[in-house]
Amino acid sequence: MSETLIYDYTMPGGHHWSFRMRRGTRLRLTDLEGGANAALLFYNPENLLERYNAPDTLKGQHTFKLTRGNCLYSDMGRCFASVIEDSFGWHDTVCGNLSADACLKKYGEHSYQAFRNGWFLSGEASFLTELAKYGLTERDMAANLNLFSKVYTDEAGNLAYDPSASKPGAQVVLRFDMDTLVLMHTCPHPLNPASAYPRHPVKVEFLTGPAMTEDDYCLNFRPENRRALENTRLYYLDPAISPTVAYQNP
C-alpha cells in the first residue's frame, strides 16, 4: 500500500487540537507509551450540523466496540471515516469525557495559574474550547470516540475499563471518506482508574493513500458500510470525478 506521510506531530497528553482532514487522506494515531486516550469528534465543515453519531455507528454495525472494519457514521447516513488499521482492537464510544468537576475531584486542583501547561485539563473543557472556534457550543457536543480505551460490559450491563488492554505502540489508521473537521483531545478517559492524572502523548500523522477499491476491507465489512459509503459518494457527486467503486444496492 502506497502511503505518503505529509505531516506529523506528537501531541502531548492532556491537550487539545482541531484540524480538517480532506476526503481520501488518512490519520494515523499511535499511543507511544501506552495508557493514552485519543478522544475524537467529527463534523462536516460544510454543514456543522452534520456530526459523528455514535448510536448510528454502533447500531448500524451491530457492535459496542470499534475496531478495524468499522465505519464512523454521521447522523446523515454517511461515513466520516473508516478504521482501516487497528492494532488495539477495542475502542470506546459510549463513555464521553471526564468533566471539569470530575477531573478536579479525581486528580485534585491543578490550575493553570499554579502549573502552567502542566495543568490538569478535562476532556470536557478541551472539547468546549475547540467547539467554540467553529461557533459550536455544548449543544453540539456529541458522544465522542475514545481511542485506545477499552470499556466492556458484563451480562448485567455493568461497565468496566480494562487498563491491561493498553500497550505502547498501539496504532489506529482512519481513512477519511468525507472532508471532516476533527476535534481531538488527549485528556484522560473518564473511567481510567489511575490515581495520578494520566498524561500520555499520541503521535498524530497525516498521510495520503490510494483510493478505496472494490475489495476494501471496510467497504465489505458489513453491507451497511457499503450503503453508508454510497450515501457519501452521492454527497460528493461530481460529473468530473468518476467513482472508483461501482456500488450496488443489494
Partner 1 sequence: MIRESQRQMLAAHFRQVIPAGDYFIHKIRAGDTFRILDLEGNQAADTLFYNADDPAERYSAVDTVRENGNVYLTAGTLLMSNRGNPMLEIVADTCGRHDTLGGACASESNTVRYALDKRCMHSCRDSWMLAINRHEEFGLSKRDITHNINFFMNVPVTAEGGLTFEDGISGAGKYVELEAKMDITVLISNCPQLNNPCNGYNPTPIEVAVWSQ
Which of 18, 28, 228, 233 is close enough to bind partner 1 by CB under 8 A? 228
102 binds partner 1 (CB under 8 A): yes
Only segment of 6-14, 58-66, 110-118, 162-170 that touches partner 1 (CB under 8 A): 58-66
**Could you give the CA distance from residue 201 to residue 237 in angstroms, rounded to a whole number?**
39
172 binds partner 1 (CB under 8 A): no
Only segment of 51-59, 107-115, 175-183, 204-212 that touches partner 1 (CB under 8 A): 51-59
Q: Is the dihedral of CA 129, 133, 139, 143 positive or negative?
A: negative
40 vs 104, 168, 213, 248, CA distance in Å? Answer: 22, 20, 26, 31
Which of 13, 14, 35, 60 is close enough to bind partner 1 by CB under 8 A? 60
The grid coordinates listed for 139 are 449543544
Which of 36, 40, 44, 56 is close enough to bind partner 1 by CB under 8 A? 56
68 binds partner 1 (CB under 8 A): no
104 binds partner 1 (CB under 8 A): no
Only segment of 33-41, 172-180, 192-200, 222-230 that touches partner 1 (CB under 8 A): 222-230
99 binds partner 1 (CB under 8 A): yes
Describe the strand order of the beta sheet including 202-208 as a list of residue ranges: 4-11, 202-208, 26-31, 170-176, 79-86, 71-73
| Helix (H) or strand (E) segment spanning residue 16 | strand 16-21
26/226 with CB nearer partner 1: 226
Residues ≥6 apart with Cβ < 8 Å to 230: 247, 249
73 binds partner 1 (CB under 8 A): yes
131 binds partner 1 (CB under 8 A): no
> What single letter denotes the amino acid at residue 145?
L
**Could you give the CA distance from residue 176 to residue 236 in angstroms, rounded to a whole number?**
13
Which of 20, 22, 59, 133 is close enough to bind partner 1 by CB under 8 A? 59
38 binds partner 1 (CB under 8 A): no
Contacts to partner 1 by CB under 8 A: 49, 53-56, 58-60, 62-65, 73, 75-78, 90, 94-97, 99, 101-102, 137-143, 152-159, 190-191, 224, 227-228, 230-231, 249-250
